[in-house]
Structure 1
Amino acid sequence: MKLKQLELKKAIFCEKNNDIVSVAKKLKKEKQRHIIVVDSKKPIGLISTTDINNRLVAENKDPKKTKAIDIMTSPILIKDIEDSVVETYTDLVKSNTYSCPVTEKGNLKGTIELRDIINHLAKIQLNKK
């Protein structure tokens, strides 16, 4: 089974030069815990609420002067819509990541979360019984 057969989550993203205040506001508005950082519409990093806490707040940085690129996690796992669900699960677990952007021909299509894959695989397993 391929990722294109699953329902992807809407990708929320910010530009690499956005300040962290605007990033945090977008996370709050969208009720999300992580946001994809893009450069020319291509995903280059990821910022989680944990990153904001550990790399900004705990280091006493100014959120108005700190840019997304300054605290993002990079490189990140990026999957293609044609990639297998099981391969994506394995890659997420190996990289200790809870979500990743999914692209189609290099363009951002959405995001997939580890819990969504686990739920999907569990349903398949339950249906086999």
Structure 2
Amino acid sequence: MKKRKQENPIEEVGDYMNAPVVTVDATQNIQAAAKFMHDQHVGSLIVQQAGKPIGIVTETDFARKVIAKGLKPDTAKVEDIMTSPVHSIDCHEAVLDANKFMAKNKIRHVVVTDKGEVVGVLSVRDLVHYFSNPRMRTF
């Protein structure tokens, strides 16, 4: 029996991440950050302080934490609802490994890095696109 040549190389996280990274300052009020996220058509923002990533805020954070905590969106800060610390994965990791990493850590978004620098975000939605397209599968 001939060994079948693999048709697709291992798919890397960098091929499926969202870039460029959309950021918000930790002291930005929640209402302005939510509007910015809406205007940018993204589901998450990397939260920065002094130019360094310190957390992530997602649509789920806006929906669950603001209401549940009774926060006022025009005065409360993004840092009050962000998830921290930031989980990250290298852009050259395999998509399947990213899926396992996200499942293990019970997260829906992961920051993607290249040589330690933030270059993108991979979301569960990106993984759905990967797994729902059979020609992308290498397993």
Q: TM-score if structure 2 supplies the norm length? A: 0.76
Distance 1:108 1:59, change over 3 A: same
> Could you say what the CA RMSD is over the residues aligned between the two structures, in angstroms?
2.2
- Are positions 1:104 and 2:117 aligned together? no
Q: TM-score if structure 1 supplies the norm length? A: 0.81
Q: 1:57-78 CA deviation, whole Å, 9 max, x = no partner?
A: 2322122221111110112321
Q: Which has the higher contact order (CA 8 A, sep 6+)?
A: 2
Q: CA deviation at 1:118?
A: 4.2
Instruction: Name the larger-Rg structure.
Output: 2
Gapped runs of 5+ residues in structure 1?
A: none
Q: In structure 1, what is the equivalent of residue 7 of structure 2?
A: none
Candidates 49, 54, 58, aligned match of 1:48: 58
Distance 1:117 1:54, change over 3 A: closer
Q: In structure 2, what is the equivalent of residue 123 of structure 1?
A: 135
Candidates 2, 8, 12, aligned match of 2:17: 8
After superposing on structure 2, the runs of 4+ consecutive aligned residues of structure 1 that deviate more than 3 Å are none
Q: 1:32-71 CA deviation, whole Å, 9 max, x = no partner?
A: 2222112233322111222122222232212222111111
Q: In structure 1, what is the equivalent of residue 104 of structure 2?
A: 94
Q: In structure 2, what is the equivalent of residue 74 of structure 1?
A: 84
Candidates 10, 28, 40, aligned match of 1:30: 40
User: Percentage identity across aligned positions?
Assistant: 24
Query: Is this contact kept in 2: 1:42–1:108, CA < 8 A?
Result: no
Report the count of equivalent residues: 126
Q: 1:66-125 CA deviation, whole Å, 9 max, x = no partner?
A: 111111011232112232322211011122222211122222211112232343354333
Gapped runs of 5+ residues in structure 2?
A: 1-9
Q: In structure 2, what is the equivalent of residue 17 of structure 1?
A: 27
